[in-house]
Amino acid sequence: MRDWGTGGAGDPARRYRGVSGAVGRLSRRAAGIGAAALAAQYVPSIAVLGQWSGLRSVGGGICRWRGPKVSQIALTFDDGPSPEATPAVLDRLDELGWPATFFCLGSLVEREPDLVAEILRRGHQVETHGYRHDHHLLRTPRWILRDLRAALGVMERCGLRPTLYRPTFGQVTGTTLAAARLLGLQTVLWSAWGREWTTTDHRRVAELVGSKLDDGAIVLLHDNDAFGPPGMWRVGLRSLDHIAPEVDRRGLVPVTMGELVSGVPSIAAGS
């Protein structure tokens, strides 16, 4: 009878070590795959840092912070439409003779379709800001894709076919970029912002924007305060009084995002 305790191939201890090693290798491989998946999902969130770099876009236009290096800028407004704030912003833009791009929330577009039509009637561009104003870093990939599809559905019912997408809070995950690409959208962030939610001083907002005004700049302000301090949009609106002279002094021309990036405005569905 064979002695199984001699350390031969049939030694139970040796067999255990072999199985244990295989399990360890599989565990390490699974951990590596899991880490790669997490990196693919969350590492792109650092894309918001592009506003402090000299990058204009990456990945063949997958994500953009600036337009081409031309003497134009794009003034953009997030979080609307708001029945209180948006008309006031539109009136001020009329006075300045400036076109702008409004990244609108689908949930608010559903409530204010006539206001979206008014934005377009006045010569501005409307793009999507998603359906709900939620943090992407706290949401699943399925939620992100569903949210974006819902936003596009609302826009289509308003006769619009968006080509640009700005995620809420500027948060970008791997799914954010992939979902936008899948649905034919380019993700757009910004290179200059007023951070109106941090101050009640409109001059400070103008200073922050002015410090980043250069060729091809994409400027971020807001036409709603539903997701920030009350009156936030008024601070941003008043800042335009000080931003406008600086834009003129630098010889910059405000245009829509479509004009800045490709020389054409947004496209209405069915046109």
H-only helix segments in 122-160: 141-157
Residue 149 three-state SS: helix
> Hey, what are 65's tokens?
């912070």
78 is catalytic: yes
Long-range contacts (CB closer than 8 Å, 24 or more residues apart) made by 211-215: 212/51, 213/73, 213/243, 213/246, 213/247, 213/250, 213/252, 214/250, 215/69, 215/70, 215/71, 215/72, 215/252
Residue/partner pairs of 227-233 with CB below 8 Å, 24 or more apart: 227/79, 227/133, 228/79, 228/196, 228/197, 229/197, 231/200, 232/196, 232/197, 233/82, 233/85, 233/88, 233/89, 233/196
Q: Are 160 and 126 in contact (CB under 8 A)?
A: yes
Catalytic residue status for 222: yes
Choice among 147, 222, 223, 225 that is catalytic: 222
Written as six digits, the tokens of 185 are: 């959208």
Residue 209 identity (one-letter amino acid): V
Residues 78, 79, 223, 225: which is the catalytic one? Answer: 78
Residues with Cβ within 8 Å of residue 199, at least 6 apart in sequence: 205, 235
Catalytic residues: 78, 222
